[in-house]
Structure 1
Amino acid sequence: MADTLSADFVVIGSGIIGSLTARKLAQAGASVLILEAGPRVTRDELVARFRNSPRRSDWMSAYPSVDSAPHPIYQPKDNGYLIQAGPYPYAAEYIRQVGGTTWHWAAQAWRNVPSDFKIRSLYGVGVDWPISYEDLEPFYQEAEEIMGVSGAPNTGSPRNKPFPMEPVAEPWAMRRLRERLAPTFQVVSNTTARNSRGYDGRPACCGNNSCQPICPIDAQYHGGLAADAAEAAGVKLRPNANVYKLEHDDKGRVVAALYYDPDKSSHRVTGKTFIVAANGIESPRLLLLSTSDKFPRGLANARDLVGRHLMDHPSTSLTFDADEEVWLGRGPQSPSSINTMRDGAFRSEHAPYRLDFTNISRVDGASNSLISAGVYGVEFDKRLRYSAAHEMNVKNVLEVLPLPDNRITLSSEKDSMGIPKPQAHYAIDDYTRKGHERSTQDFKRIAELMGGTNLRPSKEGVFSNNQHICGTLSMGKDPATSVCDQWGRPYDHENLFLVGTGVLPTSATCNSTENGLAVALRTAQYILSEQGRAGVQKPSSSTPG
């Protein structure tokens, strides 16, 4: 071992959730160390990579995989990091670097609706959460005030306090959708961690339309800012520290984290409390890697539940040409949606969904399609202008139920550091497919109301992936059916906590980051109260865990 480090809290993963958990602990006076597998990269480097990339529509082009901390890359070809076991491909994209994957997120920061916490009780599907909406509400607010969330009324999620700011200015195309779809559909501004005015030292959105892969001015909150905030609070952050094993004592308490640096020298970090915050794939992978005589299946996995109940939000879509010029491409990429199918008695029969409208410029995609079709010259100019002005797209965001056979396991293949790669077992069941079928009625009606022609539905039976990885470390009340309790503590490891979207027991219909962050902030407050840190009261819960 090259050296030994130590801290009160050792947090594994510097994404938005790991960093803001670490920040909250440090603000209470604790010593906190974050171990991040990937490198530290600055915003200006990422902007330059994006602007110089020949693959402008590839949102991972600014985030290459590094040998010391590889992550999945699919363009121009699959790098083979996330092994696919089928039967349906799960092409998850995530980033291993300081700040994590929210460097290139759409910044949607929806809360669940109250019914999402009890779909087993209400609709006879999935599972109930071990906590209620009311338990989480103050931590939603805390997360929103940290990130600077802009939102409008009528989200379906009750609030005790207003949003930190009003929504970003509505793009013309979204205004026309809202006007022409009313009263058949209510189009609302998306709830996003994006500034509509100066907030926390960051500027307002100026409409670059490159939220994914990178906001060039930091109007959009992301994990890089969260990591900066953690360090400003006193957290020590060590990049290029690829944790490959957790060690424990004879009572099951974690005593050390072992990591490789880029030269594959091994280092040992000790601490009083360990928090795994790597993401919904890398966190279960680490627990599964941490085998011992006492825990031959890995940590927190005595009941073979780690990695199970993998969920995301599959999407199908419809592209069409509106009968008027709408000119997508100015402002945020994902500004508006329809939320009427997020909840209802139908959930006993088929998946709920949101309908999300894109505002991504059509120039790049239309240009590539025309070139591929051999169109050039005057005809190219004419058709490109028409597509850029008229083309629109709407997609569904479908719930997936927590199925035990959808899971992350360890592959027999090893990565460039000699560590077993993660392997995805995934399928899309009839519940989700029926939700897709129901949404096609909405697609058709939306196109009709916009005078749509040249309708191009996504390929039948093919679902795109939204990279909302959740469910692999599900929290619950019963050790027989969950990996950890409502506070994120695995049942067999007193000083180990799990935070991140992996602990979410159901996926609902909204992007998973804000839900995961709110749960993590609640966990951090519980840890501090349990340890008697000054000024912290133990959070209440209507559902004892």
Structure 2
Amino acid sequence: MKFVSPEQASAETGWDVVIIGSGFGSLFFLKRYLEKRPADRILILERGRNNSTEWQLENRLNSDIPPEETYIHGEGSGKPWDFTIGLGGSTNCWWGLTPRMHPSDFKVGTSTGKGADWPIDYDDLVPYWQELEQVMLIAGSSDIGRVYPGTENYPQPAHQLTTADEIMVREGNGNHFPMPTAKLSRSVGARGRCCSTAKCNLCPVGAKFTAFNAMQDTLSHPSVSIAVGCEVTHLDVTGGSVSAVNFKHAGREYAAKSDLCVLGANAIHSPFIFQRSGIAGHGVGRYLGEKMLADVEVMLGGLDHFDGGTDSTAINVSILEEGRSAEFANSIYLVKNNLLHGLRLEPGRWRQTLPITLYVEDVFDYENGVFDDGSDKPVVRFNGWSDYAMAGLDHAIARIPDIFAPLPIEDILVHGIKPTLGHIQGSLRMGWSIEDSVVDAGMIAHAARNLCVVGTSVFPTPASANPTLTAAALSYRAVDQMLG
């Protein structure tokens, strides 16, 4: 990788592309862009440092910059938001789960009257999901194609299911599948197979796809320069076009001129850059949110668990497949193969417990968002989970005895809602015009036509699944829309 100083970054007479941030959205935009324009000069400005895999494992951290130190909680808003600041962004901290969005995820507004529709649909992303599943060496089963059309054979076989999963696949309602995941089930080169220790944010064997073990060719491309420790403050915009990216390092201010700006900080800091740059659009910084994550534990009568091959062995989409409701939010179940809640205490029944994580959709509320109060940090306000999400959680818990009926269920323990899922979305949402959104279907800002926003901030709704695969697909599609 070619690292440059802030002085070198600002001394150039003009970059072809300046990319802000280096997470999934940015990296896959870069990868696709280099396929089409390999000679263009590209600068990555990364606020964090180059914390190697070895550094992360030694320090048991993904970054030396705690997320909570980079924003301010608004009055009455104490909800934490989880993300990683550093080279590679969330490729470092993620847990490698890569299900697609469901076909119904794109028209939530139309079907329920809650939230907004996407300006694209499922079929628009199918070829990109297909390509990326190969690039990321996804392990999974093509059986899931019954729910997610266009699913082809994955490059890696699915991880070993637990005995409980096998019963659900064999005797359930047909909506229980191995979880698609970017953690190897078979070793490839220096990357080992998943060790199933449930330490995925700090994967000790390199099974998980990261910038460091799978994107080195992209980051080391001769056209790419990287400046770390550079916090972007604002963009210069003249006549509806970004002319320069302003950033600071060690107390000094710099500017990098660019023909194309790609903004991929995260869904808190990207809108803050918009706000400090005076870039218009409906809901800049608004509609901030994420899915609700809740944990339950199913006590099993005579059936042992924890014999699967990875941390999250299966996904159950029964509620999603039943159709969306205007009364309660949708949800999916993830079967966990780790000791989230410990072993059972009864002698001889240590493993007769099944942890399930619930992802429950929320409604992106206009009042939840990122605000500029004139300080150097964004103010984040979140007024709590919506009644719609809470009703969805209640519905999902109530349905467990029916959906998981093939298992010998003794009891269901509810362990509550987690503070954050780490899937921050919605603050620069995509839509049809500047009156209803910030960016268009190609993720180009309505108010600055050489500014492309990548990552999960553009999501109009949280969707049912983990957002990573879709964020990468949107980046690929954005380049194709831009360059053909």
Q: TM-score, normalised by structure 2?
A: 0.89
Name the CA distance, whole Å, in 1 between partners of 2:35 and 2:227. 19
1:274-289 alignment, distance < 5 Å: 274-289=261-276
Name the CA distance, whole Å, in 2 between partners of 1:7 and 1:283. 20
Instruction: State which of 359, 364, 386 in structure 2 corresponds to 1:429.
Output: 386
Cα deviation digits, residues 257-313 of structure 1 (max 9, x gap): 12222x2222221111000011111211221222xxxxxxx22x354x111112311
Instruction: State which of 352, 355, 380 in structure 1 corresponds to 2:330.
Output: 352
Name the CA distance, whole Å, in 2 between partners of 1:387 and 1:285. 52
Relative distance call for 1:48 and 1:330 in structure 2 (3 A) is farther
Q: Who is 2:284 aligned against?
A: 306
Contact 2:272/2:372 (CA < 8 Å) preserved in 1? yes
Q: Who is 2:20 aligned against?
A: 12
Q: Who is 1:230 aligned against?
A: 218
Q: What value does the CA root-mean-square deviation take over the aligned residues?
A: 2.7
Contact 2:312/2:337 (CA < 8 Å) preserved in 1? yes
> Displacement of 1:453 after TM fit?
4.4
Contact 1:349/1:431 (CA < 8 Å) preserved in 2? yes
* 1:49 pairs with 2:37: no
Instruction: Give the SS at the match of 1:24.
Output: helix
Name which of structure 1's ranges 432-441 and 148-157 shifts more when overlaid on structure 2.
148-157
Instruction: Give the SS at the match of 1:259.
Output: strand
Cα deviation digits, residues 68-96 of structure 1 (max 9, x gap): xx523xxxxxxx54433376643211110
* 1:21 pairs with 2:29: yes
Q: Who is 2:364 aligned against?
A: 402
> Displacement of 1:185 after TM fit?
6.7
1:100-249 alignment, distance < 5 Å: 100-152=89-141, 153-155=143-145, 156-159=147-150, 161-172=152-163, 174-175=165-166, 178=169, 182-183=171-172, 186-199=175-188, 201=189, 203-225=191-213, 227-234=215-222, 235-249=224-238
Cα deviation digits, residues 1-46 of structure 1 (max 9, x gap): 9442442111001112211211221232222111110000111222
Write the letter of the residue equivalent to 2:358.
N
Instruction: Give the SS at the match of 1:341.
Output: helix
1:357-396 alignment, distance < 5 Å: 357-361=335-339, 366=342, 383=345, 389-396=351-358
Write the letter of the residue equivalent to 2:355.
N
Aligned length: 471
Relative distance call for 1:160 and 1:343 in structure 2 (3 A) is closer
Relative distance call for 1:25 and 1:89 in structure 2 (3 A) is same
Write the letter of the residue equivalent to 2:385.
I
* 1:256 pairs with 2:256: no
Relative distance call for 1:123 and 1:97 in structure 2 (3 A) is same
Name the CA distance, whole Å, in 2 between partners of 1:431 and 1:425. 15
Relative distance call for 1:246 and 1:126 in structure 2 (3 A) is same
Cα deviation digits, residues 490-530 of structure 1 (max 9, x gap): 111121110111111111110111111111110012222xx
Relative distance call for 1:184 and 1:65 in structure 2 (3 A) is same
Q: Alignment identity in percent?
A: 22
Write the letter of the residue equivalent to 1:424.
R
Cα deviation digits, residues 133-158 of structure 1 (max 9, x gap): 11111111222222111222125111
> Displacement of 1:439 after TM fit?
0.7
Relative distance call for 1:87 and 1:393 in structure 2 (3 A) is farther
Cα deviation digits, residues 406-449 of structure 1 (max 9, x gap): 2122356x5xxxx2234233431121111111111123446775
> Displacement of 1:163 after TM fit?
2.4
Write the letter of the residue equivalent to 2:17.
F
Relative distance call for 1:122 and 1:302 in structure 2 (3 A) is closer
Can you give the 5+ residue segments of structure 2 that lack an aligned partner in the other structure? Answer: 1-5
Contact 1:81/1:422 (CA < 8 Å) preserved in 2? no
Relative distance call for 1:208 and 1:345 in structure 2 (3 A) is closer
Name the CA distance, whole Å, in 1 between partners of 2:163 and 2:54. 30
> Displacement of 1:245 after TM fit?
1.6
Write the letter of the residue equivalent to 2:150.
R
Relative distance call for 1:259 and 1:88 in structure 2 (3 A) is closer
Instruction: State which of 328, 335, 339 in structure 1 corresponds to 2:313.
Output: 335
> Displacement of 1:325 after TM fit?
5.6
Contact 1:150/1:164 (CA < 8 Å) preserved in 2? yes
Moved over 6 A (4+): 384-387
Write the letter of the residue equivalent to 1:326.
D
* 1:273 pairs with 2:266: no
Contact 1:318/1:443 (CA < 8 Å) preserved in 2? no
Cα deviation digits, residues 102-130 of structure 1 (max 9, x gap): 31212111111222112233333322211
Name the CA distance, whole Å, in 2 between partners of 1:350 and 1:421. 32
* 1:318 pairs with 2:318: no
Name the CA distance, whole Å, in 2 between partners of 1:258 and 1:315. 37
